[in-house]
Amino acid sequence: MSFTKISFEINQSNWVTSVSASLKDETLDYFDITQTIDVIPNFIEIKEFDRFEYENEVRQKFAPEWEKLLCHISNFRPVKRVWDVIDIFHQVQKKVSSKLLLVGDGPDRQILEKKCREYGICDKVFFLGKLKKVEKILVASDLFLLPSEKESFWLAALEAMAAKTPVISSNVWWIPEINTHWRTWFTHPLWDVDSMAQSALELLLNENKLNLFKDQSYHQAKTFELRHILPLYEALYKRLLSS
């Protein structure tokens, strides 16, 4: 679809919404938009992330000795920088007995498998492919790694928080919209794998701090429950019908 056509269709809409301020700003920068764009964030169903329902099942399969579990979920495209996930985990597993779960698939998978072979960590990294129920992986994990170069809303990170799983990520693209730095997750400059690994170790080596971050992540995620976001859409429809 052409630049002109997209601009035209947005401008001819009665109302336009964006899931994040970052996506709104990018749209306004890239396209010739005269229409107002309202930001209404994505939502989650917190009840779907019942930690006790899945935790033992996943840990018995992948971490039978109760090693720490780290995970990442994406489409394995270059913009996701999943190779940084491997680099971060490589440093972490040297100091903490741990496993890495990779959910998804995409063009960079061969690069990731090669990295695992080079580091000699193939027995600690599990490629799970595409899953319909990512909740069971998130609730069993101790940390979620997301060193992406770009995200529209960080929905995967929000789902991790709902599962009481703190996040280690890059600091790009409006993370503050859902993240409270030093409370729910750690953010670092893009490509700073060493700092991300150190933050992961800071939590994994301190059980009290890790549990605190888990609880704080959960409470932050609750602010994005459907019951909080749905009224925003209802108000929008009422304004639209009355205009």
Strands 16-18 and 143-146: unpaired
Judged against a pLDDT cut of 70, whether residue 52 lies above it is answered with no
109 and 132, same domain (yes or no)? yes
109 and 141, same domain (yes or no)? yes
Can you give the pLDDT at residue 178? 61
CATH number, domain of 68, equals 3.40.50.2000
For the chain, what percent of residues have pLDDT higher than 90?
Answer: 52
H or E stretch including 226? helix 226-242
| Residue 151 structural domain | 46-217
Can you give the pLDDT at residue 204? 97
Can you give the pLDDT at residue 92? 98
Task: Report if residue 114 sits inside a domain.
Answer: yes
Q: Which range is least confidently modeled, 20-24, 81-85, 159-163, 166-170? A: 20-24
Region of residue 138 (phi > 0: left; psi between -120 and 50: alpha; otherwise: beta) = alpha
Task: Report if residue 228 sits inside a domain.
Answer: no
The b-or-e profile of 87-118 (16+ CB within 10 A means b, else e) is: bbbbbbbeebebbbbbbbeeebeeebeebbee
Q: What's the mean pLDDT when you consider all of the chain?
A: 88
Judged against a pLDDT cut of 80, whether residue 53 lies above it is answered with no
Can you give the pLDDT at residue 35? 87
Q: Which of 3 and 176 is assigned the larger pLDDT?
A: 3
Judged against a pLDDT cut of 80, whether residue 197 lies above it is answered with yes
Can you give the pLDDT at residue 5? 85
> pLDDT tens digits, residue range 80-129?
999 999 999 999 999 999 999 999 999 999 999 999 999 999 999 999 99
Region 127-138 average pLDDT? 92
26 and 95, same domain (yes or no)? no
55 and 109, same domain (yes or no)? yes
Judged against a pLDDT cut of 60, whether residue 180 lies above it is answered with no
SS3 string, 1-64, reads CCHHHHHHHHHCCCCEEECCHHHHHHHHHHCCCCCCEEECCCCECHHHCCHHHHHHHHHHHHCC
Overall domain count for the chain:
2
For the chain, what percent of residues have pLDDT higher than 70?
Answer: 92
Confidence of residue 181 (pLDDT cuts 50, 70, 90): low
> pLDDT tens digits, residue range 18-34?
887 778 888 888 888 88
Beta carbons of 135 and 112 less than 8 angstroms apart: no
97 and 198, same domain (yes or no)? yes
77 and 171, same domain (yes or no)? yes
83 and 111, same domain (yes or no)? yes
34 and 145, same domain (yes or no)? no
52 and 87, same domain (yes or no)? yes
The reported pTM is 0.86
Place of tokens 């394995």: 76
Judged against a pLDDT cut of 60, whether residue 174 lies above it is answered with no
80 and 173, same domain (yes or no)? yes
Q: Which of 71, 47, 49, 75 shows the shortest CA–CA distance to 59? A: 71
CA distance 74 to 106: 8
Can you give the pLDDT at residue 106? 96
